Homo-oligomer: A and B are copies of this chain.
């Protein structure tokens, strides 16, 4: 058996970043920037007023000073002439600051009478002007790779980037295996259950940027598994679920190897999720996840999400661990790393009592996988533990 860390190293050795594609800015949120983007202009492109008020010469600012209003600078429509001594322009937020102006009086600090203003309150020392390039200057660069947030999208818009080069979304083919499985909406026989893993994992992988296809369920016959692999053609990542343990009916590994898969590893020293396999199959990476629902989701979180990130161009790395304090004592762990289901709320984490790897009801209430290292001693209430957010 190998450790989770070793298994991840093996997986990363199978993966190289995908190519890129160009998408409209409005579709780029949640995608990964594939190439640096450099601003070709300053923002703001001109010194701009930060307030609604009157633009004047700073040297003349004093309580009681009077100015003659000679024009107006509005957003989109600047004042063209210079502003001289004793003169003011009405100016609005975001408007270009005219030549000669280096101070914007707030309108609430002035008394206006027809075309004259008098400063009637101390305007303070803040000039209320945003210099050209205050936000960014031409040459400012947003570096790739970067997971584009909504605020990055706003920034790219301000940089006048209508099209964005992003990494192609990983094409994932998901194959559930097992004679016991039927699709939701079907009528299961007395020995059958409804397939659940593919639906949960598709949602998880898509939320991480992938484009996941659920393939037909493969039965426990070599021909059925071959058919499923055939339908997976073109995928960057082929993920099978179930059929990866050592039982007499576990045919997936055998069929995959016949089809040319070079197997990387087979068992990982973890709970839940021990049976796991991976290898290259033609142009695709193949990962075999265990069939227990919770084991499949844990392995999806621990192994597949980092692989999706690496395919999207990020440096290969395990998921970031957070930490929180235990709300109750928890007993010592055994020899395998344990990913326990629990719930974190404002820094306090509760390990659920029921940890059986078949319990989707428990999993759906969890928002964290608490990480117990191999042979971790018993932990007390208030102890700091690490977790992965779900």
Question: When the two chains form the complex, which single residue of B75, B186, B358 contacts A180, counting CB atoms closer than 8 Å?
Answer: B75
Which residues of B are found within 8 Å of A191, using beta-carbon distances? 46, 75-78, 95-96
Interface of A is mostly: loop
Which residues of B are found within 8 Å of A159, using beta-carbon distances? 194
Copies in the complex: 2
Does A76 lie within 8 Å of B130, measured CB to CB? Answer: no
Q: A46-B191, A193-B45 are in contact. Are A151 and B364 (CB under 8 A)?
A: yes
Cβ-based interface call for A222 (8 A): no
A150-182: CB near B (< 8 Å → 1, else 0) gives: 111111111111110000000000000011110
Question: Which range holds the interface residue count of chain A?
Answer: 35 or more
Cβ-based interface call for A123 (8 A): no
Cβ-based interface call for A292 (8 A): yes
Cβ-based interface call for A371 (8 A): no
Does A358 lie within 8 Å of B153, measured CB to CB? Answer: no
Does B75 lie within 8 Å of A179, measured CB to CB? Answer: yes
Does B364 lie within 8 Å of A190, measured CB to CB? Answer: no
Q: Distance in Å from the Cβ of A250 to the closest Cβ of chain B?
A: 9
Does B322 lie within 8 Å of A157, measured CB to CB? Answer: no
Which residues of B are found within 8 Å of A311, using beta-carbon distances? none
Does B358 lie within 8 Å of A130, measured CB to CB? Answer: yes
Binds B, one of A5-13, A23-31, A230-238, A330-338: A23-31
**Bound state CA distance, A198 and B193, in angstroms?**
46
Does B94 lie within 8 Å of A178, measured CB to CB? Answer: yes
Does B155 lie within 8 Å of A246, measured CB to CB? Answer: no
Residues of A180-226 contacting chain B, CB below 8 A: 180-181, 183-186, 188-204, 206-207, 214, 220
User: Interface on A for B, CB 8 Å cutoff?
Assistant: 25-26, 29-30, 43-46, 48, 50, 52, 74-78, 90, 92-96, 130, 134-136, 140, 142, 149-163, 178-181, 183-186, 188-204, 206-207, 214, 220, 245-249, 291-293, 297, 322-323, 346-347, 356, 358-361, 363-364, 366, 390
